[in-house]
Structure 1
Amino acid sequence: MALIVVIASSRILLVRRASHEDHLINIWATITAVGVMLREPTIARQLERWVPGGLPTIFDVWHWTTVAAWAAGLGLFLLYEYGPVRYRAGFRSAIAFAVAIGAAFLVLSTPARSQGISIADYGGWRYGVYVGLCWALPMAVSPYISRLMLTLWRHTTTQYERVGLFILVIAAVVSGLPVIALPLFAGLGAAGIDTEFIRDGYNLASDWFASGEPQLYIGALFFVAFISPSLRAGAQLMRLRQLRPLWRELTAAAPEVVLVLRWNDRWNRGPAERLNRRHIEIGDAAKVIARYTRPLPIAVEELLTTTIDETERKSMSEVAALVIAAQRLDSGDGSSTAPPNNHRPVAPDVDVLLRFWAPARSLLCSAPSATHGVVSETS
């Protein structure tokens, strides 16, 4: 449970609504995490006193989360099949169907709740209909899953991808066994074939369904698939934090390169898009500032010669010139109003700027008189 909740929370925080697909995956992750938490006896008992009907109602709610999660999953398949515009009608229908199933759960379990027991313990035809409704959406989604699995199999290029896909297929088949076994054994029992094997098979399938283990296994497998994207999003956020001081200084000198977005648009941008935008703005700002660079003062050139390795001297010199020009542009120094250079010097790339910007500022601070006091320790 902890793995699923942690990964779901991480994904929702790191990968916000960057696309329709991300939005649906986050909905699915949220619902699945809630269902898995409600399945835990410790959590369910803590919530029991706050929920009308107690544990039997919580039983209905976390079984409904299975239906709602499959509705979100169906939305993903519809998005894949029909695109970001045409999928909406089918997805709304799936959500409405899921809500109707939730209401039916409460109606079917009313006698069980009045006795303080779950619908699984109550049994009877109501439980049979309950199970059928719970797995109606998975059965509706199965054709899309089969088609998608075949498509993915044809596009797999490595043995690792084929093994991963095979594991997902086996998990889907195993999780569907209670759905097939429960009506099968119930039908055989109703037909008069009442053997010990039939009774044990029915009880095993019923207990497995009531335990919520299929939802747990499917959720765990799919969440494992989200680990890599979540780690990648985390690495992108770390990169954004590393670039922020550099971006702040460069864009202060060339604010025209910054794309100003509304708050809602900024919130809905994922780490990958934000990182790409930051790279672009740093590169554009560096190009603008590079046109205002001047030859380094002799004192700085001498300091570079005596303190910097020859292999890094050129990069350090270019970045130091950019630091001086950026500080002058930001401070409004009179020299910054002069026309830019007619030549267009090539600005260092982002990695070079990130590596040498702080060392270049430190180097210039050790020779403040040479830079006319523009660069200081507190700048």
Structure 2
Amino acid sequence: MTALPPPVMAVLLFVVWGTTALRLVWTRHGVVNTRQNVFLVLASITVLMSKSWVHRPLDETFGYGTARHFGNAIIMLSFASLFSLAVAWALGHKKWPRVHVVSMAFCALLGIALLMLSAPARAAGQRLEESGGWQYAGYFVVYAIPSLTVCATVVFVATKSLRRTSVRSERRMFGVLTGIGVVSGLDAGSMAVAAVMSAMGVTNGFTEFRTAINGVTTMFILVGMCSVAVRPAIRAAMETFQLDRPSRLRRQLSPMWRTLTDSVPGVVLELRPADRGALPSRMALHRMCVEIRDSMLVVDEYPQFGRVPPLGEDRDLSVAVGLHLSCMARAAGESPQPDTSQIRSHSVDLRNEVGELARIAGHWAQAGRIAREWVAYRESVPN
């Protein structure tokens, strides 16, 4: 492999190792995650082989190029894990449960074949490209078998999923996977073709260019895969530290939720502490919205201590003030009056409802001050 500039190599190492570490910490469970993590661990080992303090002792002990060929064998094992991952995406993890073991075993045999084909070059202390011969062509043809198989499978699964989904984030992810599969296939195919041409004695600009970049494109393809693999880990980490969007919205809605549920405690859906802690942040947000909406329907039937005068065109502020006044009326023992109901939801789905409630919650503290001042004013005015 042509040596990359140290700053570029440092960035590539950081991306691959960083992604692997994040996923091993935050996305360890499930068949799909396990297979993806195996791929990244193997890819990280391959990248490790490019470091001089790793490949130099191996080359000095077992012959020149040993680290490179061992790294290529590990790459093929990572392709096997990627293939089984694509099968799980396409068919579900319960279909072909042994596909991971079988594909890994098959690629392990191909890895042994690589080491055998590279033996003459290692014994001569030469790069495989310099040694030439039929072993050179056979080496890259064997190397291309799992690469092309995985690329074709990934492109098939990604394009099929791309046509099936209308979710923008999913379409973007499957589009990236399609691009990575196409580029990887072209890289592996052109590598094998150039090796066969060189073994036949054909040397031109294509074979020289292909020989010069052998292994370089693989590094950037790994970075592309990491850009897809790191997203679930980042989402899981953000959810754990409550930095994701649902957690931020829950914090924004919490003051309004506390006021309303203190007034109508019966709407709170009780859960065991263990279940509450295991609840995903998106589901916890949904429960909070349901409890807020249910309590709003109850308190809205209570008179608002003489309704506050219109607060301009800010509907959300007016609704927030009205809810505060209704909670005060309920706490004061007023009787409900269903015909006084004022609040109407304009949301058409859960996302719109969250946005609508968040806008009301944004005025909650201000609305509380206005409501208390209004009640104090009404009580100070003689009847």
Cα 1:33–1:241, aligned 2, differ >3 Å: closer, same or farther?
farther
**TM-score, structure 2 as length reference:** 0.60
| Structure 2 counterparts to residues 258-269 of structure 1, below 5 A | none
Cα 1:98–1:13, aligned 2, differ >3 Å: closer, same or farther?
same
Give CA-to-partner distance per residue, 1:171-211, whole Å, 9 cap, x none. 5224421122213432x2xxxxx5xx4488766544433xx
Alignment partner of 1:316 is 2:316: no
* Number of residue-to-residue matches in the alignment: 336
Alignment partner of 1:45 is 2:84: no
Cα 1:341–1:232, aligned 2, differ >3 Å: closer, same or farther?
farther
| Structure 2 counterparts to residues 1-379 of structure 1, below 5 A | 2=11, 5-6=14-15, 9=19, 12=23, 16=27, 21=32, 24-25=35-36, 27-29=38-40, 31-32=42-43, 35=46, 37-38=47-48, 44-47=51-54, 56=65, 58-102=67-111, 130-141=139-150, 144=153, 147-148=156-157, 169=182, 172-186=185-199, 188=200, 194=201, 197-198=202-203, 205-209=210-214, 212-222=215-225, 238-246=244-252, 248=254, 250=257, 255-256=268-269, 274-290=280-296, 293=299, 294-297=302-305, 302=308, 305=309, 309-320=313-324, 349-365=353-369
Matching residue of 2:5:
none
Matching residue of 1:375:
none
Percent identity, please: 15
Cα 1:208–1:265, aligned 2, differ >3 Å: closer, same or farther?
farther
Cα 1:131–1:342, aligned 2, differ >3 Å: closer, same or farther?
farther
Contact 1:319 1:353 in 2 (8 A): no
Equivalent residue letter for 2:221: I
Q: Which moved more, 1:354-363 or 1:22-31?
A: 22-31
Whole-angstrom distance in 2 between the partners of 1:238 and 1:53? 49
Cα 1:371–1:145, aligned 2, differ >3 Å: closer, same or farther?
same
Matching residue of 1:331:
none
Is there any run of 5+ residues in structure 2 with no aligned partner, and where? 1-7, 346-352, 377-383
Equivalent residue letter for 2:356: V
Give the CA deviation at 1:364: 1.9
Matching residue of 2:379:
none
Cα RMSD between the aligned structures?
Answer: 5.6
1:75 is paired with a residue of what secondary structure? helix
Is there any run of 5+ residues in structure 1 with no aligned partner, and where? 189-193, 267-273, 329-334, 373-379
Equivalent residue letter for 1:38: L
Cα 1:367–1:156, aligned 2, differ >3 Å: closer, same or farther?
closer
**TM-score, structure 1 as length reference:** 0.61
Cα 1:80–1:280, aligned 2, differ >3 Å: closer, same or farther?
same
Give the CA deviation at 1:93: 1.0
Contact 1:112 1:118 in 2 (8 A): yes
Contact 2:316 2:359 in 1 (8 A): no
Cα 1:353–1:265, aligned 2, differ >3 Å: closer, same or farther?
closer
